[in-house]
Structure 1
């Protein structure tokens, strides 16, 4: 029978990327498919979707031996490292002794395997496979892998800063005007300023907006695209809604995504900044909701030479209103502490060039940072020494989610772990 479409694979990929972000999964299109009766609340649907995704990852693991089983085992390991453990792709590739290109190829094969399993699990629940119909081979796979590698490279060393959302979005709309003229698309900016400030990386946000707008213009050829800006409890929300004019052909017949690579890159760029993207089609209207953390969200600065720890803490806090910014060197950490004025800093002791004790003393000596709570995070069991030297708290590696939430709760209020 038919397999999952390219759009369905994209939806599975986006859900895996936000596996621990319940706010994202609650509004994900796949969440509706796990609730055939429509009787579940949004949180329960998100939990069920997450369990199903984790189960499908485990199903990828081979039950026998041989060459095919070895490849399946590698794919299963890469899926687990990337989505369950939350490791960045350079770390995943290093653990398996692969180049980043090889790792991305294996990851893409794994996503497709999970999508196939998800398709089989969800098809009976919805009673028909029309919305998940096969879209045939995806010739854009290599391009998407290369684009994701570029996003990962851009992410290294980048850090977010408070940005004027109006300025960034206005520039993106100006840049997309020639494409709008070619496709006869009119864009209406519905919400007047002022708009909320967001915490993002200027270059990555602008590129994500351009990719998303380019995709939107293809979807609503000859029609109109309305753009609204709102503010939620922890995010700024940019909503795009449009409909193609009758009789004007879309870029790709049949309603398929005109530019899966561009849309995939937009999702990856937003995820790298703590944002997320939800797209859908209903009653002939295409829509997208772009979520970006508000600049007022509390910031946790993680100073640790191991980028995997930064990714782990980001995963632990994905469902909470906390922005995690990483610094992989003492110098970068001191600079970001002064620039961002985070609510809390976690600090590793054993770092090359300049150890954590040195950094702690400099943080305490600088008037701009001396009042910021510093939590020593180390494999060394030196809690008494850390507190005596000016640390505010101490947690031992390996860090558990419960320990992190407990210690952050002292300054940020109670933080409950998602079930």
Structure 2
């Protein structure tokens, strides 16, 4: 069985060798797309991939600053024209490091389109990876690969309404295949969001990928509304009578949505039973305050993170007091929460250093200690 993550990696490999006949003919994608074992396997698979990229090109009237253009241009320049990462980064006006992050998002968007086009929920179960791929050593975990979402502030505020519109456009082929109608209620004037758009899009796509098949022939209701210090997206549907429990890919997608929400300071609640599916994602607005929490207790940091989820506060936690100053320089916090009773670290001395540092001298610092203090 091929998982969605393995499919993305197979897609990446095929695109990297788009003009290599031997490599493309051996790709597991050839079987998935029904062109394996043919005299024209190489040109047929190449044509499928190029046309899939072309299908992501926005209409000419689409504003050039929208993310849909970036996804299409990145895929076109990087894979169809086979430019290097640095050349494409220069062409799009971003750093090579930032391009690599966006490249992952673009591959996910393309993978989603192909997965739905070729009904791979069924075919992937029948396709085995080559033994060499199955035995390959595991790469970094999802949390390790996506840690930058927590460590790097969003480069620009996200338009809450436009982000949802982009996601719904990507989900329409899946809705069409399941004869499901997407009903969107999105008011004007929603505040901008303090979130990486790629993460928000993936969360919403994963939730829609779970809801749409369960509502086959019915309606999936999608809405967004402003809440204190955030925007709440709701996705819900009435389950069809023959609805089955989520499959392995859908469960993995839901787990990933939860992980992404945690990394982005958002809050995700999901309710699923035999009658209805409902999910609410609360995303903080761009008018946020960054809180740097310094505490050696991982449970305390987790508790603070839960308190901050879906609020105006964005928590950056560290258990390493020695790195506190360098982290403060990097994230420019608005508030610092400091545990002064840490083993092997003089918290009071660290407090003194924070008070003397130019970046943190004027910040409010909340001192936490189990000892009673006066004044």
User: Shorter-chain-normalised TM-score: which range?
Assistant: 0.3 to 0.5
Structure with more contact order per residue of length (Cα contacts < 8 Å, sep ≥ 6): 1
Instruction: Give me the TM-score of the superposition, normalised by structure 2.
Output: 0.48
